[in-house]
Structure 1
Amino acid sequence: MNHDAAPQMVIVSGMSGSGKSVVLNTLEDVGFFCVDNLPAELLPDFVRSVARDDGAPRKLAVGIDVRNRHSDLANIPEWLSEVGKLGLDPKLVFLDAGDDALLKRYADTRRRHPLSHHGLLLADAIALERQVLKPLRALADSVIDTTSLNVHQLRRQVITEFGLADDGSPSLLFESFAYRRGVPADADFVFDARVLPNPHWNPELRPLSGRDAPVREFLDAQEDVGRYVEQVSGFLDAWLPRLRTDTRSYITIAFGCTGGRHRSVYLAERLAAHFRDGGWGDVAIHHREVD
């Protein structure tokens, strides 16, 4: 591999619930080719595969965490060394957070911890995960404590950490949520999508989310949805630019529906695309009940 043409590699690891998906999404937004939950033993083969393709991306990000076989995590130094021999200098970023913060995040999202299949209580699963990931944390080039960071602040820290482009405009987060689990505490604008036709009542659409094509096509065909999107995008187009001159560094626009899977997800995705296409620098999406 020609060293001058060698891709940049970032390995993202850390505690479950610490924000690894936010970091990977941020890197993807700025041009990294991201692979989550890659078996650690495949790191060298992955790099070789990329190197064989002249048109391959030059910036790579790989998520490796406790979902890997635990015996494989102990061999990470060996595989990182092999990657280094291929001409790369991989950087390992480890995301961490306090136990209380992790417990609260799991309580808020109702998601299952990846070690819960062992029959452990959540607190015990977190303790075991810390033990398993000790070798990775010790190897980290950078440790980011996300205990007191929200999604915007974490994205900003990643952008600063890697010297990525940032035009200084407030970052926008389009978030979907379920009303039955409460409105996001840090939302600046909240729009209620429960007035729109609900794909949940279609048995074929029920197991899908607003990111899936059949659900998008269903909602695209609804006249009320088109009117809703037009009016909300018009409102945001008119008022969000006024905030570019404010002192705030981030803005959250939240869409809520009953289950947080269909209408709210669709709207968050569609409005985020609208502002990305319009040239707004930093636009993120977070689906609280789906991600």
Structure 2
Amino acid sequence: MIEIVSPAPSLLVVSGMSGSGKSVALNTFEDLDFYCVDNLPAELLPDFVRSATHPERSSQKLAVGIDVRSRGDLANIPEWLSAVGAMGLDPKLVFFDTRDEVLLKRYAETRRRHPLTHLGLALADAIALERQALKPLRALADVIIDTSDLNVHQMRRRVITELGLGLHSALSLLFESFAYRRGVPADADFVFDARGLPNPHWDARLRPLSGRDADVHDYLDAQDDVRRYVGQVGDFLGTWLPRMQSDTRSYVTVAFGCTGGRHRSVYLAETLGELARTRGWGDVATFHRELD
């Protein structure tokens, strides 16, 4: 009798500076069938792995985000990684870094709050404090990826190739949403304007939600113009994306813009991204510039 041995589960611990691209990395791992958890309290890492690898769940690929937001003493990470190793896993710590001046620019562009500004710190001081707090993790990292000069698509490809996750020859597709008031993404290959479609913003019930939410999705799905738009864009991409692949293109960004970058453009990026997955047009990721 031949005994079939299942491969040992793998674990990627994702850490790094806030604004360096950790969310992009976790989204990429999720697209590659990893079971992903972000902002896990660091001391719960062994318990999470024990639960996720239970025979009744049998998750074989795990990715966990642990950073300055995580509760617990990050200096104890070696102890928790050793505990995970004792369970038969070979954990790898991937650290994302970015130059301070680039982080300052990214926060200025997105207007998001740094997780340490609640301490009453200026942004530059919050970044400095975070860098100090993450020193133990950076020192332990198996892989350090500097994203200072990478766009979202390049970052995704760098993550896949750096970690040897088996990217094949298919196109790497990014479906991105954005707000026109903040400009068109500079690296977009195709840009589609959704501002002529019905706007959920004017429905008080839908206004606080985003295009990721089921109520917004159902509202837009019910609109004839939206269904026609999705069908026509889908036909266009189905015609031209294979041509771009045969033209030795390795990655393509398809961007959808609306006024606020929250409802219509997000819905379209998610909907067309799912269509691309279903039709096998390539390796698909989504990014919502005004939300992520």
AA at the equivalent of 2:68: V
Q: Which residue matches 2:14?
A: 12
In structure 1, what is the Cα distance between the partners aligned to 2:52 and 2:235? 43
Q: Secondary structure at the match of 2:73?
A: helix
In structure 2, what is the Cα distance between the partners aligned to 1:252 and 1:73? 36
Structural mapping, 1:191-210, within 5 Å: 191-210=192-211
Question: Which residue of 37, 48, 51 maps to 1:49?
Answer: 51
Structure 1 gaps, min length 5: none
Structural mapping, 1:109-258, within 5 Å: 109-258=110-259
TM-aligned CA deviation for residue 203 of structure 1: 0.8
TM-aligned CA deviation for residue 169 of structure 1: 2.7
Q: Which residue matches 1:99?
A: 100
In structure 2, what is the Cα distance between the partners aligned to 1:37 and 1:17? 14
Length, aligned pairs only = 288
AA at the equivalent of 1:225: V
Deviation readout 1:241-291 (Å, 9 max, x if unpaired): 110022332111111111111000000000001111011231110000111
Deviation readout 1:78-109 (Å, 9 max, x if unpaired): 11111112221210000001111111111121
Contact 2:242 2:281 in 1 (8 A): no
Q: Which residue matches 2:280?
A: 279
After TM superposition, the score normalised by the length of structure 2 is 0.95
Contact 1:171 1:249 in 2 (8 A): yes
Which runs of structure 1 show a deviation greater than 3 angstroms over 4 or more consecutive aligned residues? 3-6
Q: Which residue matches 1:31?
A: 33
Q: Secondary structure at the match of 1:74?
A: helix
Deviation readout 1:216-243 (Å, 9 max, x if unpaired): 1000110111111111111111111110
In structure 2, what is the Cα distance between the partners aligned to 1:6 and 1:23? 22
Q: Secondary structure at the match of 2:282?
A: coil
Contact 2:16 2:67 in 1 (8 A): yes
TM-aligned CA deviation for residue 50 of structure 1: 2.3
AA at the equivalent of 1:60: L
TM-aligned CA deviation for residue 49 of structure 1: 1.4
More displaced stretch, 157-166 vs 56-65: 157-166
Contact 1:171 1:251 in 2 (8 A): yes
More displaced stretch, 132-141 vs 231-240: 231-240
In structure 2, what is the Cα distance between the partners aligned to 1:52 and 1:248? 41
Root-mean-square deviation (Å): 1.4
More displaced stretch, 47-56 vs 278-287: 47-56
In structure 2, what is the Cα distance between the partners aligned to 1:23 and 1:208? 24
Contact 1:176 1:287 in 2 (8 A): yes
In structure 2, what is the Cα distance between the partners aligned to 1:264 and 1:56? 36
TM-aligned CA deviation for residue 146 of structure 1: 0.6
In structure 2, what is the Cα distance between the partners aligned to 1:157 and 1:270? 25
In structure 1, what is the Cα distance between the partners aligned to 2:78 and 2:6? 24
In structure 1, what is the Cα distance between the partners aligned to 2:230 and 2:162? 35
